[in-house]
Structure formats: structure tokens, C-alpha cells
Structure 1
């Protein structure tokens, strides 16, 4: 991925949209999951934002501090319990999750989506075609990265438009 100065404000807007979502769960549709995670990593390192990523090989890891994995979070159910018990704000990105999402995990997700918290933790499921289980319908917000990327400012008739 080649980082340009124009990409970071777009990723910041995407992160702001995720954080401002009324739902605790977000389905992020992106054709390039790896690039989106890499841009979020750069944003986390520069801004100090609490962004974490889960993958089946390493579990939950901080994007800000490379190599810092949370022990005991390799299984999705353990990672979801960790998020549920976390008392701090955080955006948790889940990648390669489709094969690991089991019915018991859906129950944990329903619990997370219904639990009122003051810390506003967000679970983001990122994939090319994000399809969450039917039982979660109405409990998550769907965001398409490509639509966010094309909403950059442009000058038209002396005015800046999105």
C-alpha cells in the first residue's frame, strides 16, 4: 500500500463514522481488507487511537503497538468475551471471521449490541462481502468503504463539495 496524505483524512472520516454509529456492531464492506487495516494501523500509530484487530492466527492485537497480542483471544468466542468485559473505549476490527463465527458467538454479539455502555466500544466486521448472521439483523450498521473513499472534497464553481 502506498500511503498518500489524502488517504489519512478519509480513513479518519471512516473511523469517525464508525465511532459515531448508534450501533455497537458495524459491518464494513471493503474490496481491500488488507489496505483498510494497514491505513487504520497508520492512523492508530499517528493519533494514538485505541484500535485493535482480531485474526484467527494471533487473536486480538493492538494496531498502535505492533506485536502486542492479548493472551487467550485466538478463538472468536474468547475475543468477544474480552470485548464484552473491556471497560475501555476501543474499535475492534475482525477479519477472516466468516468460518469462525459460531451460533454461541452470535449470542455474545447480541449481548454486546444490547449492552448500554458509556465507553462506546465498537466491533467492526470487515470483509469484501460482509454478511452477518440473520439473527443480528437490525443490530448493526453497514458501511461501504468505497463510498467513503469517493466522498473526498473537490472544487466546483469556487465551492468545496463532498
Structure 2
């Protein structure tokens, strides 16, 4: 099963932008990357120009799935399995799968935030290993939103190599 990490955050926090940049960095390092995006919207047209799913493809993701209330786009109905099993079924050949959303899934997560007034998700959900934020935060593995390269390095170190992290 490929390693899995989710980018989580409140609406319009920058999850897609940051995750897309991380996809590009991981691809440039020679990794096969797939993406699973979660949405609460129904009736979505997959891969329309300018959509999140088309942006992930443009960033180099070999596979993109959109999980919506009414469909799982790889053109089939949603599976009733957890996120790790979904990643294994859809993208078994991937070196890593990045997910967007899935706040309550039992996987590692990176919180993305812009709104300093919104509650910190790292205090509300399990598995948050890093936070990327416009408002500065204190603590281990706190990044600015423009530090996608450093976030990709953290992911690579934690999930894709056997060498110790610095």
C-alpha cells in the first residue's frame, strides 16, 4: 500500500494550491504521485478547465480521483471503504498518494490555513504532523504557505525514504 498524507483545512485555505505545488516537487524528485480529492458538492463536472482536478493533472499527478456525495470520479459510484483502502485500490502503483479533505480519516495530515480566527484543526483532529499557515505559528513543523518545497521534503523524509530525518 502506498503511503498516504492528507492536506486539510477550512474552505478556501489554500489546500489545493499547496498540494498541487507539492505534487510538482515530488514528481521532479522522480516519485509517482496520485491525488484523491474530497468534496461536499454534488453534480460536479470532472476535469473542466480551471477545476482543482484539472490543476492536479497539470501539476503532474498520474492519477486523480474526486470523491463527491453523488459520485467517485474515476467514473463509478463511491466505494464504501476507508481512505487507505481507496488509495490502494485506485493507485496501487503510486509511490505516494496525497489526499485533500478527509479531516477525520485515520491518516497523517498537513493542515493548511489562512484565517487566523479559525480554530486550529491540529487541536481538533488526530494525525496532523505539520501546519502550513499565512498567520505565523509556533511549534514543530510549522511552515509558511510558500514553503511547498520544504513540505515536500518533510513528506519525502517521513514517508518515502528510510534515511533519518534531519
The TM-score with structure 1 as length reference comes to 0.33
The TM-score with structure 2 as length reference comes to 0.32
Structure ranking higher in helix proportion = 1
State the structure with more CA Rg.
1
